């Protein structure tokens, strides 16, 4: 997929890191145990590391979005959908709060970074993220993480509907199927977001410092 060469703002902008957690990304996490192809995950995390470091150097807030589930907050709609698809309800037990699966994968929370815990796909459902973004004066969001077609896209759609300018970093997101990744990027570019590369952002921020 071709990326547009654009200027990506660093003022009033935050970097979101969506669900880069062991259950979604690690070779011994739940998704790997379910047989998902993890090939593209580490490549995306490599680029997220570079973007997070650059964001911190340029005073762009870095916000870790983490799925933190518990039996009492599991979605009834999701469990019903699982049942209709013949999927065991135990599949909902991903990123249980306080477990290895919910811990960050490879990335380190640094002083000055922020965290948001969520129980649904979107970072905007049932969380205080809008209060945080308003307090920080953020009007644009750069979204990275996993998986592209699920929690990343859900967050991008909801952010756009709340009047945030949305940027999606194509090579700092990943899905377990390359086709889903590309389809999701195409849909977001069509309706909700500007799709850029990690190099686009780094070059844009570097040039704005000169």
Query: Edge to edge, what strands does the sheet with 13-18 contain?
Result: 114-118, 62-67, 13-18, 140-146, 165-174, 194-196
**Per-residue model confidence as pLDDT tens digits over 48-100:** 999 999 999 999 999 999 999 999 999 999 899 888 988 887 777 899 999 99
Question: Stretch 120-139: mean pLDDT, rounded?
Answer: 98
pLDDT, tens digit (0-9, with 9 covering 90-100), for 22-49:
999 999 999 999 999 999 999 999 999 9
Q: Which single residue is written with the structure tokens 């690690």?
A: 26
What tens digit of pLDDT does each residue of 139-186 get? 999 999 999 999 999 999 999 999 999 999 999 999 999 999 999 999
* pLDDT > 70? residue 208: no
* Separation of alpha carbons 89 and 91, rounded Å: 5
CA distance 169 to 27: 23
């Amino acid at each position: 997929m071709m990326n547009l060469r654009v200027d990506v703002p660093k003022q009033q902008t935050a970097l979101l890191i969506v669900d880069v957690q062991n259950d979604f990304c690690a070779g011994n996490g739940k998704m790997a145990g379910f047989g998902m192809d993890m090939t593209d995950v580490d490549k995306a995390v490599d680029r997220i590391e570079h973007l997070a470091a650059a964001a911190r150097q340029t005073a762009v807030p870095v916000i870790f979005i983490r799925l933190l589930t518990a039996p009492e907050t599991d979605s009834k709609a999701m469990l019903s959908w699982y049942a209709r698809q013949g999927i065991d309800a135990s599949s909902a037990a991903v990123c249980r709060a306080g477990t290895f699966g919910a811990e960050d994968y490879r990335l380190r929370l640094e002083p000055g970074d922020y965290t948001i815990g969520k129980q649904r796909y979107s970072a905007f459902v049932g969380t205080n993220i809008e209060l945080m973004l308003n307090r920080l004066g953020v009007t644009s969001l750069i979204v990275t993480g996993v998986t592209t077609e699920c929690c990343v896209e859900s967050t991008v759609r909801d952010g756009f509907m709340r009047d945030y300018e949305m940027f999606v970093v194509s090579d700092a997101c990943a899905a377990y199927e390359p086709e889903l990744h590309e389809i999701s990027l195409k849909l977001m570019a069509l309706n909700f977001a500007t799709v850029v590369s990690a190099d686009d952002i780094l070059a844009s921020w570097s040039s704005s410092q000169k």
